[in-house]
Structure 1
């Protein structure tokens, strides 16, 4: 089996230079339109599908992103795996701006987002005990190091609602929980990827110290943008290195069996399932429906 990487570009990563055989594809999913057109192409012989999470020109704030449509669009495009690139704040002194973190855990503090494809009429409960694919996260970290980034392997990402940044009290609370970085976009993205049986990994690029570090100015947009420019250049190179790594690597099932996550997750009896919802769900769960 070959790799087809879905790349979700976050703040500062709105395109992917170097792609060959480029074609644009507007997609409509059963959950509406994604953040923007998909850009399909090849890089180092690997098929890639790029989606800017915030849309062209960063028009979408985190709480207005159609996460279900984004994940469904990548699934419908035939992606085998998803790599998320996103800016984040640091909750630890040693995770300085410019450092990359290969996230492996999440605490979800979002409040207003639809976090599942499944609804009344077809209920399902997938496990997100291990919310990222260990193999994909390791490869993404290797690629970032090959691109010259300082990388921390493993870390807990606190997903906040936003769009405002944290108060100092909130930032201190998240530090007391042992969180490593904070951002606004990896949830419910990671949950939805698991429901769609897509291995997911996140590389979080540190831009600031959030609001806890009183020796530093509280985070603001200009400070984020200044670091983001350098981070984004490295992120693009990282994606190119990742494409090279997997180009001659046979893609076997993920170590955690993510491609079959729905085998034991759907709890609604077949006779009780809403046929309209089931038809809608075929876009992401057709294998089991």
Structure 2
């Protein structure tokens, strides 16, 4: 149980809830942003003293019943509720942990069979661990990189122009969503040294990551539209589909253009370029 992370999460979520949002009067002299501690305790049906200890990172481990009550009081969505449970080493219903590290053979076969779309497999740490020929053609460097250089978050937050790129709302949204997803993954797997090491590294090296990490937002990666400019086939626009690989903690990411779009035609031209060799880390 990470008491400090739990305390920080409770405080940020409490500050984000308006009294009107939970049926309480706002009052004329309210100086506290969001709800007061006693209001959260009242809504959750727990003592004020107990809730204060939780926000001060010195309380005992909450029971599953208390966690559920806090989730309702703070109006947490599905992802935030799951994160709250993970912070105290509890699993929400219908969720399990796994120690699977290898990309399943069926997923590798699926990658090999995806000839029209760039696709790759990413683990919980955002390491690209397997990809198909179209992904190699699109990105043009995967097989040549060392494993530690194939980390999506490290390459984005460690580059010298990260501040300038964050001025692009689409890039900022992508990175903020990725950080939120990383936080949720760490809460699900608090003993994962690789995850913890990546977070510690990025907190040391990237103020931009630290700013997003301090927001305590949690949300898994979902589909979004991406726009990039390829040096050989020009502007591309495609849906970035993110599919969970059940029981592994991995995600299959596919870049899917609209049928008969300029991007679909560009992908076909890309497929005709000098053959690339699909790869994965040794």
Q: TM-score range by the shorter chain?
A: under 0.3
Q: Which has the larger radius of gyration?
A: 2
Structure of higher RCO (CA pairs closer than 8 Å, 6+ residues apart): 1
Q: TM-score, normalised by structure 1?
A: 0.24
Q: TM-score, normalised by structure 2?
A: 0.24
**Higher share of residues assigned helix:** 2
**Higher share of residues assigned strand:** 1
